[in-house]
Amino acid sequence: MTSALVLGLTACGGSDGSECGEGTVEMEGVCVPTSMIMCGDGTAPDSDGNCVPDGSQCGAGTTFDDGTGECVPDITGCATGTVAMGGECVPDGSVICTDGTEFDATTGTCVPSGEACGEGTVLLDGECRPADEALMAEVFAGAEPDDPRFDGTPVTFTPPAIGEERTIGGCIVPADGDMDGETDYDADWFTFSTAEAGLFRIHADGLGGLSAGFAVLATEGPLADQGWIRVGLNLVGDSSERRVYVPAAGNYVLAVFDSRSLNLDGLDGGVGFSRAVGGPDACYHVTVEAEAVPTPTALTAPTDSGMLGQDPQFFTYTATGRTIFQSEVTEESTAAQGSQVLVYGDTVSSGAIAFSPPVADGDDVLIVVSPVYNISFDTVDYDLTLTEIAEVPADGAVTLTHDDASDIGHFLAFEATAGDVVHLSFTSADELLFIVRNPDLGGAWAPCGAGIFGGPNPCDEADVYYVVEQTGSQLVQVSNTEATDGEMYDVTFTRVGQTPPTIMAGTPAAVTLADARTFVRVAAGTHVWSRFDLSALSGTGFVDADLALLEDAPGPLSAAPSIAWSGVTAASRIHGPMMGGDFLLEIQDGSGTFDGDESVTVGFDAQTFDDVMAAPMMPVSRTGDAIAAGEARFYFVRAAAGGQITIDVTGTGGTDPVLEILDANGLPTTSLDDTGSDGIESYFGNVPLAGWVAFAVTEFGGAAG
């Protein structure tokens, strides 16, 4: 038997922190001490937690410039074509010497080099060759746009085998790519893939006035997350060369440009472009040669000093017990930016500070030191320091010793994969401040939160769940703000990781509860309204579940989510228009006890509903909508946010309608059954900011939802 009703809709137009305390800054909604923020030499955290120049933090050989607000080198008398940087004179790109000449840093002029090529020849990769060869290459740049960062299509080339070369050609022609009336910089982009780590000598020759430079960067995986990039520059000549160690199998990009187009003033803050340099005749010829990786030098101590040139330097260090290594490279001049990759097994960590996964006793880690860039006329001194740090135990205690000389506390680490959910809890007899960081030291958040007055809030216990953003060593930074130098304190941890299974619409999946709060990734797609069904519940006392739906985003999950549905085996969720994507469905044993033997089959599919659009002064009428016996009919009404809406439901043929207004969890917030058979149930209310109102209609005695 079915019942009938008449539906009428009328929409009306709408009418229209605490601050952190002294010595702390706000980071992602949490106040933390400035001592926990790691800023470089000459900088300190500002009120927003950003590292900015600070005269009191200027390093040796520099002074604070009141005019620029920066620490500048104590150096004067740099020649034409050079500028003071990091305590030395470095090229500024204003004087470019061509074939047969070289830059004299004393006079700031180009002088004969003894490498002049004869008429009709040019210098290519150190050899004089016929000029026609400069226009020949195995791979040529493609049509614009080719920048993959802005949906361009780069040309793909196959990297050479060891002992072989690959040649690449093209021209750098700036143009108004974004049609804003300004000429934009130009760079040519090429992609390549490697099946394993490898060493490449890359030489870029500029032709027609081009000062050829290049960069190699990772496009995916942990290396891309960590911002791995290596740059070859020459700011006094038309060619550049360096060796680049590609540290892992994967996809990479080679970009070729004029060295002078880079933002040289901000190079130490990241590689970016600031000016358009080039022209129709400004071309390049790049040679990529694969070389054998040299045998690494075995370090006998956890510290080393050396000089940064253009080529990578390879080292190994042997663990004398199961440990995690923190490796740090520091350089003595900003003319070069020190960096490294730390490799153990298939795990690679890069940056000035890098972290290994847990290393077994007697195993070696590989450390490859190389600059992101080096524009010095000479090498730059660097120091390498390896520090053993503790692993966050799955269940156990760590003893830490406070050091007054350290302003960043202690790092602990554990391995996790992006997208996993980690349950981390800790207790201590002392009040401690914790910060959880990504492998690249970013994404910081504090489980202990902030105090009532916005100051730091150390705590002696915390229990958090969070979604991992980056694969690799997850870092826990611990600081005991009240400890004295040399004081020891214990921290007891428990750690449970889970990889949420992904369920697709129409395909149920068996799920074993991994923890008190277990998560399932829901690929909701473009569904506006979803229905969840649980079946095959098994385990001690597991007969129904408490469910909640959470945003699937990296970072901490709600510490105590409002359970949307308690004691259920079925539920529905309204995502609203244009809110497709992935969500996390949280499942808890409805008994309130996690026994470890629970399992359930979880499925979801699109909820069947009537999609209705309502507009002011344009009533919507529907007649003859049928309701199956014992079931509900669902409606999703799109209307102007902030407006007002009237819903009238009229039963026909003896139907006694029940009107229920639903929230986002598909649960009734208002239930109307004021009339009898063939009666009219009416609702009048405001349209929420989400821009929709959902309701269900049942016959008296039935149940919506």
Residue pLDDT, tens place only, 248-261? 999 999 999 999 99
What is the model's pLDDT at position 616? 86
Q: 503 pLDDT exceeds 60?
A: yes
- The answer as to whether 310 is a domain residue is yes
What is the model's pLDDT at position 32? 60
Whether residue 425 contacts residue 400, with contact meaning beta carbons closer than 8 Å, is answered with: no
Rounded to whole angstroms, what are the CA distances from 14 to 11, 54, 140, 682, 685?
Answer: 9, 51, 59, 20, 11
Residues 617 and 649 reside in one and the same domain: yes
Q: Name the DSSP class of 454.
A: S
Helix or strand holding residue 494 (H, E)? strand 488-498
What is the model's pLDDT at position 702? 44
Q: What is the CATH number of the domain that holds 411?
A: 2.60.120.380
- The answer as to whether 106 is a domain residue is no
- The answer as to whether 21 is a domain residue is no
Q: Report the DSSP beta bridge partners of residue 604.
A: 532
Whether residue 393 contacts residue 424, with contact meaning beta carbons closer than 8 Å, is answered with: no
- The answer as to whether 307 is a domain residue is yes
Residues 461 and 538 reside in one and the same domain: no
Task: Please tell me the distance from the alpha carbon of residue 217 to that of residue 227, in angstroms, as a whole number.
Answer: 8
- At 539-555, the pLDDT tens digits run 999 999 999 888 889 99
* pLDDT higher at 155 or 18: 155
Rounded to the nearest integer, the mean pLDDT of the chain is 86
Residues 331 and 467 reside in one and the same domain: no
What is the SS3 string spanning 576-607? CCCCCCEEEEEEEECCCCCCCCCEEEEEEEEC
Residue 154 neighbours by CB under 8 Å, 6+ apart = 142, 146, 147, 148, 189, 190, 191, 253
Least confident range of 2-6, 18-22, 189-193, 580-584: 2-6
Residues 283 and 156 reside in one and the same domain: yes
What is the model's pLDDT at position 17? 41
- The answer as to whether 60 is a domain residue is no
What is the model's pLDDT at position 425? 94
Least confident range of 6-15, 193-202, 525-534: 6-15
- The answer as to whether 79 is a domain residue is no
Residue 365's CB: how many other CB atoms inside 10 A? 25
Q: 220 pLDDT exceeds 60?
A: yes
Residue 333 is encoded by which pair of tokens?
A: 């001049």
Mean pLDDT of 290-309: 95
Q: 704 pLDDT exceeds 50?
A: no
Task: Please tell me the distance from the alpha carbon of residue 445 to that of residue 379, in angstroms, as a whole number.
Answer: 38
- At 101-116, the pLDDT tens digits run 899 999 999 998 877 7
Residues 465 and 484 reside in one and the same domain: yes
What is the model's pLDDT at position 37? 66
Q: 359 pLDDT exceeds 70?
A: yes
Residue 525 neighbours by CB under 8 Å, 6+ apart = 505, 580, 581
Q: Among the three residues 495, 516, 551, which one is the final residue of a domain in this structure?
A: 495
Whether residue 250 contacts residue 221, with contact meaning beta carbons closer than 8 Å, is answered with: yes
Q: What are phi and psi of 228, to 5 degrees?
A: -65, 125
Q: How many residues does the chain have?
A: 705
Residues 174 and 237 reside in one and the same domain: yes
- The answer as to whether 50 is a domain residue is no
The alpha carbon torsion through 219, 368, 385, 338 (nearest 10 deg) reads -60
Residues 274 and 159 reside in one and the same domain: yes
- At 571-614, the pLDDT tens digits run 888 876 545 567 899 999 999 999 999 999 999 898 889 999 99
Closest listed residue to residue 276, CA positions, set 286, 262, 256: 262
Q: Please return the burial class of 275, using the count of CB atoms within 10 Å of its CB with bins 0-12, 13-18 and 19+.
A: middle
What is the model's pLDDT at position 705? 34
Whether residue 661 contacts residue 681, with contact meaning beta carbons closer than 8 Å, is answered with: no
Give the count of domains, the chain: 5
Least confident range of 88-102, 379-393, 530-544, 558-572: 558-572
Residues 602 and 616 reside in one and the same domain: no
Residues 488 and 619 reside in one and the same domain: no
Q: 488 pLDDT exceeds 60?
A: yes
Confidence of residue 703 (pLDDT cuts 50, 70, 90): very low
Q: Among the three residues 231, 266, 291, which one is the final residue of a domain in this structure?
A: 291
Task: Please tell me the distance from the alpha carbon of residue 550 to that of residue 530, in angstroms, as a whole number.
Answer: 14
Residues 352 and 318 reside in one and the same domain: yes
Residues 654 and 516 reside in one and the same domain: no
Residue 286 neighbours by CB under 8 Å, 6+ apart = 137, 167, 168, 169, 202, 203, 204, 205, 212, 214, 254, 256
Q: What is the CATH number of the domain that holds 686?
A: 2.60.120
Across 92-106, 164-178, 281-295, 571-585, the highest mean pLDDT is recorded for 281-295
Q: 295 pLDDT exceeds 90?
A: yes
Residues 409 and 476 reside in one and the same domain: yes
Whether residue 398 contacts residue 412, with contact meaning beta carbons closer than 8 Å, is answered with: yes
What is the model's pLDDT at position 578? 45
Q: Among the three residues 606, 635, 656, which one is the final residue of a domain in this structure?
A: 606
Task: Please tell me the distance from the alpha carbon of residue 155 to that of residue 142, in angstroms, as a whole number.
Answer: 6
- The answer as to whether 78 is a domain residue is no
Closest listed residue to residue 367, CA positions, set 245, 210, 464: 245
Q: Which domain holds residue 336?
A: 297-389
Per DSSP, the residues of 72-111 read: EES---PPTTEEEETTEEEE-SS--B-TTEEEETTTTEEE
Mean pLDDT of 622-639: 89
Residue 441 is encoded by which pair of tokens?
A: 């030291």
